[in-house]
Amino acid sequence: MALLKRLRDLKQDTNTGLSTNSNSTGGRFVNKDGQPNVIKKGVGLLDRYSWYHTMLGMKRGKFILLLFLIYISINLFFAGIYFLIGTDHLTIDQTASPWRKFSEVFFFSAQTFTTVGYGRIAPVGFAASAVSTFEAFLGLLSFAIATGLFYGRFARPQAFIKFSKNALIAPYKGGTAFMFRLAPFKNNTLSEVDVKVTLAITTEENGKQTDKFYDLPLELSNISGLALSWTIVHPIDDKSPFYGLRKEDIAATDMEILVFLKAFDSVFSNNVVTRVSYISSEIVWGAKFKMMFEPNNDKSKTILNIDKLNEFERVELPKTAANFAS
């Protein structure tokens, strides 16, 4: 195979932090959301996860839903305790139906947990008073934790960058290039943006599957500021691992292109990082990206159309040795 011949003459990237033993790994190295594709075992569930990181990294909708479910569950739990103690230990209508009594107890629990305390319902006796005291204390702690999580999610530096769904093999300066693109999708300002792209490929040596890593030189790996879209380009020349590959070769090869981006956010005065990867099935042969920014009507501003990030059109590639060698 042409690729295997090319790899023997190329210098490997040895500082990726990833295993070279293909038999010891499974699937892609990096998921599309940028997280490592790793499941950790051998320790207890509480030791395996940092719940703080989990809550900060959780999607907004799931985070709000989880807090709401925890809030409802805690109040149902304490409502059950009050109900077991006896509704006669609370100043509610004792002639009401059991369902009405339970709903009153639930809303009393919610008022106690949030320390609102409207005063219409109050505990009577030691047992109910002790439970409500503990619930109020737990409520203070819970809201302190929830407030910290909300602040952490709000203040956490993030790159806010979207990557194109596919990478392309596209025409480039009379030859071809491997390329993908990215764009900032919020109003943050990023500067000193650095991108590193690594090719991970599985090959067979002496009957063993081995993962090898190769740095992909880029046309431009650093820019001073990122305001519009940026197309990352790796020219396919005689020093590229892609040199001489055909469409069928890429489709039949177990490869993954790892992307690591680091930038400086001037608002947070801190570095932000993000990752993504592309596998063989996500590489489109013979295509180029469509323009995704344009001037407004009076040409006073530039419009960046984020919804066009993934749009490309099919094109013919030049028949050069770079992509049609045997």
Contact yes or no for 31/37 (Cβ under 8 A)? yes
Place of tokens 């900060």: 56
DSSP-assigned letter for residue 307:
G
Distance CA 223, CA 193 (A): 5
Average pLDDT over residues 288-299: 93
Average pLDDT over residues 275-286: 94
In terms of domains, do 168 and 221 share one?
A: yes
pLDDT at 23 over 90: no
Q: Kindly indicate the confidence band of residue 112, based on its pLDDT and cuts at 50, 70 and 90.
A: very high
- Inside any domain, residue 294: yes
> Which of the two residues, 205 and 260, has the higher pLDDT score?
260
Facing residues of 213 across strands?
Answer: 200
pLDDT at 10 over 80: no
* End position of a domain, from candidates 130, 155, 180: 155
DSSP assignment of 176-237, as one string? Answer: EEEEEEEEE-SS--EEEEEEEEEEEEEEEETTEEEEEEEE---S--EEEEESS-EEEEEE-S
Contact yes or no for 13/200 (Cβ under 8 A)? no
- What would the two tokens of residue 281 be? 């099935």
* End position of a domain, from candidates 91, 125, 155: 155
In terms of domains, do 268 and 225 share one?
A: yes
The string of pLDDT tens digits covering residues 182-195 is 999 998 889 999 99
> Which of the two residues, 76 and 322, has the higher pLDDT score?
76
pLDDT, position 197: 95
Facing residues of 103 across strands?
Answer: none
* End position of a domain, from candidates 101, 127, 155: 155
pLDDT at 22 over 70: no
- Whole-number percent of the chain with pLDDT over 70: 91
Question: What is the CATH classification number for the domain harbouring 316?
Answer: 2.60.40.1400
